[in-house]
């Protein structure tokens, strides 16, 4: 055993400079490099984006409770090194200038907000500024609505319960944006220290206790910001935060929650931010998957070649008395050593390259990028090793079975390995890696099942193509025919090469197609005139006037939606809380919902089950809403994700409570909603008339080009009750994330392309010695250089055409599967692709094939034959 | 005492739906320290016979015993062990591993056996074949004759009882061929090795104590008519190297 190991080591060292070893080395290196680069980059970028998204809710994790929060949990969080800060939210009357306003008060603890920042201004609709920390004791920040309702301005005082407070700022944006946009109440932020003195919280008051948690952060930075506004506030750019600690804590906490508590994370899919981050992640993981795949194919090609080039060696070793297992050991050792060197080198280069990537994208990316972690590097290292071993195993097994008689009869080749157990293992290995890389089961499944099915198909299709064309090849022009015959003669190699090329082009075109489709669609979802203001609390009797006003000012506004506040309490007579399992975090059932009615499903939503109610009333029915007759049955349309979470089907009976009254309605259809369109979206839409008996206000959204303070103040003067909520900041952030990922994706696309081209060369080189031998014989027999050149060019043209055709078909299939199952976008055929893929493949293969086989065309036959031996 | 004993040896290979019978019910006995030449037309099955006798391949039927080991009762790995301990090989195309130095090539069989003295022994043998100064050269830096010397050193380094040589001079010019043959026979005599030599070369065959002719799958003792004279000029059926590379 020991001596075999030594022998293997020695041979490996002396083999190191051989062409086939270099090919294997380069393939593995490229694989490791692209995996490391992509995974490290993606990992850092994703964590940065998650981090930035979590800025939007003032923490990484929010725990909410209707009771007081278990102190043991806080202790546990502290022990885990998490930062935490409490807040209490309740409703109370604010009083000033003889006016009263029911307001949502958020009393926050020292350190709020842990993430993100509050935005304030000192004049109505003035330029907003970022402010660190929270109001100092004795001060409050109130929103525009309170300012209007109480007719106060900055510097005035207002009363809350028994205490008086100085209005320090107008609150433009609370760091915690998880709340409802459409809240009909004013918002006030105060310091928790003042809470007791106000005496507003009696034993029976309804309050929501909140705890915000963030990952452990850097202490130095904390102390740096401690000087600001008297509150110890960890800066938002603590680069060492470790989201994992938060996730672990959440996992620990979840099983202990009661029905009164709710835990929510930084990224929920029903926000624009959540959708943006999710999509970017999905795309980047697709890219890394493709990198692994290309690596796999390259390594499979390279190790097949490696094995073929070692038949002689294996035969001689056998002849000199090596046992079969010795052969396996020697070659597996060689492979492992090669793999280790190549992957280590590749990982190192890839790691350095990812810095270059960030460097290149400076200015487009946020300056505080999360630090690199070892995880992705180690995963890449192991992945490339696993891929190497998985794919090289079958060819190595082949070496074991080389007959020793081969020393006497060179043409005795071992049986070629076709699809066997080892390749199945390789597919499993790739699948496992894919799952590790994407943690998306569906994506992995589509990839692995799709690609193994395709690879089976490739063989069959390629063979089919060859046979079919062979039948008709007599009718082809002579040169083209000669090229085809050449390919046909090499069909054993041609089929495997075709498969490899088809894989490479599938990978490349798929990445391009998905990128183009996703990003154009995504970009289209936030057009330049995306509504950046919401108007809420538009009273029914001023609605027409307000609408007219906006029209007059030339403002591009959305339709008005009536809003009635209510809670979903029962499903088919069963209490909702029992119907929902504890783990399911269904926000909609715990908070008040904005209920609306409409005779249209809404332009951006799609009915996926049931049908819309007929428009029995005149088109502008909403305007005339009070006069709509109450229908006999109450019908409601429900949003699809909520329906799924609550397991609600068409025909189910829902019970709502609206200001103490009960209302039953039958689910008439299920609607898919685009949450990221910045227009009013609703979980529940009723048939017009159902909500006639309830008090309602209106909401709409509109787009203002610049910060149009004049207009906003105008609205303020004319429509006292209306509150305007600017959403510009969120839109900007979503756009930024979109831009960042687009650039990242572009670079990664380049990398995948680069990997593809390298692998293309590897594949071409794999039959180079065969071609050399042939060319030498042709030359000896008197063929001119240009004859050989033509032969090669036309053969490669055929190869490109067929590979392109295969790639085109599989790209369409895969993109269809991915769109409908993972990305949730509509699939359309890509006719441009049909034309371009084969052309592209032909061009690339001919040019690189030409470069690779140039020595064959120029060298003297004597030299060639000597080389061939 | 017979070190090689083949009884009723036959070999068929299947080519698609046909079977080609190369050897049929062949018998051969070779005594210890004997030198024997196997001659025959190209394509008569000499290399096939050699591969069976040396345990490189398995016979379709019949028995072979090599130095007391029943080859036909052993599996591949068993035969590999026999080859490693008792057998040395010399081939027409040298069969050196291209990326290894001369020394490493000679050490190879010893290393496979786990011999701790591999390097010392290999160096000694390279010295003996006159390549003491070329030990660290790779095959492509050596001439054909030098490569064959390395192969001879490799064949003797394990001190085998039996040596098989298939056309050892086939790729060499006559003068070089002659020196190689001289070296081979000298070393063989010195070490009392049994030598089985396959050749076209009339003279070479005469250097052996005994020769047999292979024809139609069977062996004939001595020269039958004079096949060697003709064989030289017939086109070879199974060529291992391009025609001009073979120096006749
Ligand atoms: N594995 C095999 N498959 C097919 N045919 C074989 C096989 N082994 C040997 N043959 C055939 O058997 C015959 C004998 O071959 P062999 O190599 O033993 O001849 P040879 O006497 O050594 O010829 P040469 O003097 O040219 O080396 C040839 O016709 C060869 O084609
Ligand atoms: Mg022969």
A790-810: average pLDDT = 87
Radius of gyration of chain A (CA): 34
Is residue B69 lining ligand 1, measured as CB closer than 6 Å? no
Is residue B86 lining ligand 1, measured as CB closer than 6 Å? no
How, if at all, do strands A163-173 and A118-121 pair? antiparallel
Q: Atom 9 (ligand 1): residue with closest C-alpha?
A: B48
Centre of ligand 2 from the C-alpha of residue B57, in Å = 14
Q: What is the pLDDT of residues A104-139, one digit of tens each?
A: 899 999 888 887 778 888 888 778 788 888 899 999
Instruction: Give the pLDDT of residue A23.
Output: 76
Angstrom distance (rounded) from CA A311 to CA A399:
6
Instruction: Give the pLDDT of residue B119.
Output: 92
Q: What is the mean pLDDT of chain A?
A: 78
Instruction: Give the pLDDT of residue B228.
Output: 46
Instruction: Look at A342 and A680; give whichever has higher pLDDT.
Output: A342
Instruction: Look at A493 and B223; give whichever has higher pLDDT.
Output: A493
Portion 505-524 of A in contact with B at CB < 8 A:
none
pLDDT grade, residue A454 (50/70/90)?
Answer: confident
Radius of gyration of chain B (CA): 18
Q: What is the pLDDT of residues A360-393, one digit of tens each?
A: 666 556 666 778 888 888 888 888 888 888 878 8
How many CB atoms are closer than 10 A to CB A287? 26
Instruction: Give the pLDDT of residue A236.
Output: 38
Nearest alpha-carbon partner for A51 in A283, A203, A234: A234
Torsion, CA A187, CA A189, CA A194, CA A195, rounded to 10: 50
Whether residue A6 and residue B84 make contact (CB cut-off 8 A), yes or no, is no
Q: B144 φ, ψ to 5°?
A: -60, -45
Beta bridge partners of A595: A564, A684
Angstrom distance (rounded) from CA A145 to CA A190:
16
Structure tokens at A285: 């993981």
3-state DSSP percent of chain B in helix, strand and coil, to 5: 40, 25, 35
pLDDT grade, residue B161 (50/70/90)?
Answer: very high
Instruction: Give the pLDDT of residue A367.
Output: 61
Is residue B46 lining ligand 1, measured as CB closer than 6 Å? yes
A556-567 in b/e burial notation, b at 16+ Cβ within 10 A?
A: ebbbbbbbbbbb
Centre of ligand 2 from the C-alpha of residue B21, in Å = 16
Domains of chain B: 32-55+85-223 (3.40.50.300)
Is residue B39 lining ligand 1, measured as CB closer than 6 Å? no
Question: Is the CA virtual torsion A456, A460, A463, A464 positive or negative?
Answer: negative
Strands (E), chain B: 2-15, 18-31, 35-40, 61-66, 69-70, 87-91, 162-166, 194-198, 210-215, 218-221
Structure tokens at A56: 């939007």
Q: Percent of chain A, pLDDT > 90?
A: 8
Q: Is the pLDDT confidence value at B239 over 70?
A: no
3-class DSSP assignment, residue B165: strand
Closest residue to B95, CB basis, from A6, A323, A407: A407
Closest residue to B76, CB basis, from A2, A324, A410: A324
Nearest alpha-carbon partner for B197 in B46, B60, B96: B46
Angstrom distance (rounded) from CA B136 to CA B100:
9
Nearest alpha-carbon partner for A60 in A233, A266, A242: A266
pLDDT grade, residue A24 (50/70/90)?
Answer: confident
Ligand 1 pocket test target in B44, B48, B231 with most atoms within 8 Å of CB:
B48
Angstrom distance (rounded) from CA A29 to CA A140:
60
Question: Is the CA virtual torsion B137, B141, B143, B144 positive or negative?
Answer: positive
Residue from A320, A326, A772, A860 to probe the interface with B (highest B Cβ count within 10 Å): A320
Nearest alpha-carbon partner for A234 in A217, A211, A213: A217
Q: Is A412 on the interface with B (CB under 8 A)?
A: no
A674 contacts: CB under 8 Å, gap ≥ 6 = A525, A604, A605, A681
Q: Is A329 on the interface with B (CB under 8 A)?
A: no
Q: Is the pLDDT confidence value at A241 over 70?
A: no
pLDDT grade, residue A416 (50/70/90)?
Answer: low
Nearest alpha-carbon partner for A734 in A235, A177, A215, A288: A177
Residue from B52, B94, B108, B136 to probe the interface with A (highest A Cβ count within 10 Å): B108
pLDDT grade, residue A229 (50/70/90)?
Answer: very low
3-class DSSP assignment, residue A544: helix
Whether residue B77 and residue A319 make contact (CB cut-off 8 A), yes or no, is no
Angstrom distance (rounded) from CA B204 to CA A827:
78
Centre of ligand 2 from the C-alpha of residue A90, in Å = 99
pLDDT grade, residue A619 (50/70/90)?
Answer: very low
Instruction: Give the pLDDT of residue A224.
Output: 33
Is residue B43 lining ligand 1, measured as CB closer than 6 Å? yes
User: For every residue of A606-645, which 3-state class applies, written as one string?
Assistant: EEEEECCCCCCCCCCCCCCHHHCCCCCCCEEEEEHHHHHH
A12 to chain B nearest CA, in Å? 10
Angstrom distance (rounded) from CA A336 to CA A194:
67
Q: Atom 7 (ligand 1): residue with closest C-alpha?
A: B13
Q: Percent of chain A, pLDDT > 70?
A: 80
A745 to chain B nearest CA, in Å? 43
Q: What is the pLDDT of residues B31-85, one digit of tens each?
A: 999 999 999 888 899 999 999 999 888 899 999 999 888 988 888 888 888 888 8
Instruction: Give the pLDDT of residue A862.
Output: 60
Whether residue A2 and residue B166 make contact (CB cut-off 8 A), yes or no, is no
DSSP-derived secondary structure letter, A270:
T
Q: Residues of A with CB below 8 A from B89's CB?
A: 319-320, 407
Instruction: Look at A161 and A430; give whichever has higher pLDDT.
Output: A161
How many CB atoms are closer than 10 A to CB B13? 12
How, if at all, do strands A163-173 and A261-265 pair? unpaired
Instruction: Give the pLDDT of residue B149.
Output: 93
Structure tokens at A30: 């490229």
pLDDT grade, residue B165 (50/70/90)?
Answer: very high
Q: What is the pLDDT of residues A645-657, one digit of tens each?
A: 788 889 999 998 8
A304 to chain B nearest CA, in Å? 19
Q: What is the pLDDT of residues B109-153, one digit of tens each?
A: 998 888 889 999 999 999 999 999 999 998 888 998 999 999 999
Q: Is A17 on the interface with B (CB under 8 A)?
A: yes
Structure tokens at A308: 């073929």
Is the separation of the CB atoms in A715 and A557 below 8 Å? no
Instruction: Give the pLDDT of residue A157.
Output: 92
Angstrom distance (rounded) from CA A546 to CA A414:
84
A832-850 in b/e burial notation, b at 16+ Cβ within 10 A?
A: ebeeebbebbbebbbebbe
Instruction: Give the pLDDT of residue B122.
Output: 94
């Amino acid at each position: 055993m020991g001596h075999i190991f030594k022998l293997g080591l020695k041979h490996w060292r002396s083999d190191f400079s051989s062409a086939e070893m270099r090919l294997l080395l380069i393939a593995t290196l490229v694989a490791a490099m692209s995996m490391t680069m992509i995974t490290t980059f993606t990992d850092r970028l994703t964590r940065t984006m998650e981090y930035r998204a979590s800025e939007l809710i003032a923490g990484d994790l929010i725990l909410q409770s209707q009771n007081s929060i278990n102190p043991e949990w806080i202790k546990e969080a502290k022990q885990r090194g998490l930062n935490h800060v409490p807040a209490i939210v309740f409703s109370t009357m604010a009083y000033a200038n003889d006016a009263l306003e029911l307001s949502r008060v958020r009393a926050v603890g020292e350190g709020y907000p842990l993430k993100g920042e509050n935005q304030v201004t000192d004049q109505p609709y003035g330029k907003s500024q970022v402010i660190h920390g929270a109001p100092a004791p004795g001060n409050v920040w109130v929103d525009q609505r309170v300012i209007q309702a109480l007719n106060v301005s900055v510097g005035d005082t207002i009363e809350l319960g028994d205490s008086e407070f100085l209005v320090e700022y107008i609150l433009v944006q609370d760091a915690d944006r998880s709340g409802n946009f459409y809240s009909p109440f004013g918002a006030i932020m105060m310091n928790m220290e003042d809470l007791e003195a106000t005496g507003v919280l009696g034993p029976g008051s309804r309050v929501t206790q909140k705890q915000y948690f963030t990952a452990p952060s850097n202490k130095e930075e904390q102390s740096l910001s401690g000087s600001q506004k008297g509150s110890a506030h960890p800066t938002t750019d603590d680069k060492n935060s470790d989201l994992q600690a938060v996730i672990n804590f959440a996992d620990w906490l979840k099983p202990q929650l009661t029905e009164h508590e709710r835990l929510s994370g930084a990224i929920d899919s029903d926000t624009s931010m959540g959708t943006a981050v999710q999509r970017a992640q999905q795309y980047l993981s697709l890219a890394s998957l493709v990198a692994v795949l290309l690596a796999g194919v390259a390594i499979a090609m390279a190790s097949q070649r490696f094995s073929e080039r070692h038949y002689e060696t294996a035969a001689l070793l056998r002849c000199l008395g090596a046992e079969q297992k010795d052969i396996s050991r020697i070659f597996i050792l060689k492979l492992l050593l090669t793999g280790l060197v190549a992957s280590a080198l590749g990982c190192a280069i890839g790691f350095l390259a990812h810095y270059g990537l960030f460097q290149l994208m400076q200015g487009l990316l946020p300056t505080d990028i999360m630090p690199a972690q070892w995880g992705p590097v180690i995963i890449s290292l192991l992945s490339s090793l696993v891929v190497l071993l998985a794919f090289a195993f079958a060819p190595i097994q082949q070496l074991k079975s080389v007959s020793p008689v081969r020393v006497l009869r060179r043409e005795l080749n071992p049986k070629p390995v076709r699809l066997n157990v080892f390749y199945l293992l390789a597919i499993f290995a790739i699948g496992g890696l894919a799952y590790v890389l994407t943690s998306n089961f569906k994506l992995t499944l589509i990839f692995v099942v799709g690609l193994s099915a395709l690879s089976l198909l490739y063989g069959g299709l390629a063979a089919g193509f060859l046979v079919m064309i062979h039948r008709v090849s007599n009718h082809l022009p002579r040169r083209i025919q000669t090229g085809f015959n050449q390919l046909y003669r090499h069909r054993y190699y041609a089929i495997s090469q075709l498969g490899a090329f088809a894989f490479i082009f599938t990978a490349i075109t798929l990445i391009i197609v998905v990128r183009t489709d996703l990003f154009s669609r995504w970009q289209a979802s936030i057009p330049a005139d995306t509504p950046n203001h919401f108007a809420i609390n538009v009273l029914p009797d001023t609605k027409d006037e307000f609408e007219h006003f906006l029209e007059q000012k030339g403002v591009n506004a959305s339709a008005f939606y009536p809003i009635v506040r209510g809670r979903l309490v029962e499903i088919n007579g069963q209490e909702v809380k029992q119907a929902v399992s504890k783990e399911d975090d269904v926000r909609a059932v715990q908070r008040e919902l904005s209920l609306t009615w409409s005779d249209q499903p809404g332009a951006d939503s799609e009915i996926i089950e049931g049908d819309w109610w007929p428009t029995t009333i005149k088109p502008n029915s909403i305007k005339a809403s009070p006069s709509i007759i109450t229908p006999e049955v109450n019908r409601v349309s429900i949003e699809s994700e909520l329906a799924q979470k609550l397991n609600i089907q068409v025909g189910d009976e829902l019970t709502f409570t609206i200001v103490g009254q009960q209302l039953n309605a039958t689910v008439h259809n299920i609607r898919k909603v685009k949450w990221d369109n910045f227009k009013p979206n609703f979980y529940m839409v009723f048939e017009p008339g159902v909500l006639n008996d309830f008090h309602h206000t209106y909401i709409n959204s509109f787009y203002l080009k610049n910060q149009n303070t004049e207009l906003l103040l105008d609205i303020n003067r004319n429509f006292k009750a209306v509150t305007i909520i600017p959403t510009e900041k969120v839109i900007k952030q979503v756009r930024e994330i979109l831009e960042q990922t687009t650039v990242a994706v572009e670079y990664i696309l380049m990398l995948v392309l680069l990997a593809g081209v390298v692998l293309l060369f590897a594949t071409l080189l794999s039959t180079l010695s065969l071609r050399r031998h042939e060319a030498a014989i042709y030359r000896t027999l008197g063929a001119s250089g240009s004859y050989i050149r033509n032969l090669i060019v036309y053969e490669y043209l055929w190869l490109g055409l067929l590979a392109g055709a295969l790639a085109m078909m599989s790209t369409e299939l895969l993109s269809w599967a991915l769109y409908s199952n993972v990305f949730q976008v509509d699939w359309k055929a890509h006719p441009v692709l049909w034309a371009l893929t084969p052309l592209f493949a032909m061009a690339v293969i001919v040019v690189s094939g030409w470069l690779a086989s140039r020595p064959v065309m120029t060298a003297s036959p004597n030299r060639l034959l000597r080389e061939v031996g | 005492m017979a070190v090689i004993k083949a009884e009723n040896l036959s070999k068929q290979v299947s080519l698609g739906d046909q079977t080609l019978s190369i050897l049929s019910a062949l018998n051969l006995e070779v005594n210890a320290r004997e030198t024997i030449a196997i001659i025959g037309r190209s394509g008569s099955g000499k290399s096939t016979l050699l591969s069976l006798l040396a345990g490189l391949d398995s016979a379709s039927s019949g028995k072979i015993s090599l130095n007391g080991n029943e080859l036909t009762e052993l599996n591949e790995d068993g035969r590999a062990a026999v080859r490693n301990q008792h057998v040395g090989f010399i081939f027409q195309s040298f069969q050196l591993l291209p990326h290894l130095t001369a020394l490493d090539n000679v050490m190879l069989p010893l290393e496979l056996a786990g011999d701790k003295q591999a390097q010392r022994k290999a160096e000694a043998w390279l010295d003996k074949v006159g390549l003491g100064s070329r030990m660290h050269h790779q095959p492509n830096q050596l001439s054909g004759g030098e490569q064959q010397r390395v192969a001879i050193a490799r064949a003797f380094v394990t001190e085998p009882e039996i040596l098989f040589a298939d056309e050892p001079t086939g790729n060499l010019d006559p003068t070089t061929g002659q020196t190689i043959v001289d070296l081979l026979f000298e070393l063989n005599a010195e070490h009392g090795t049994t030598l089985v030599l396959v050749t076209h070369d009339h003279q070479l065959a005469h250097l052996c104590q005994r020769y047999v002719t292979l024809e139609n799958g069977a062996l004939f003792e001595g020269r039958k008519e004079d096949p060697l004279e003709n064989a030289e000029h017939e086109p070879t059926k199974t060529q291992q190297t391009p025609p001009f590379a073979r120096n006749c």
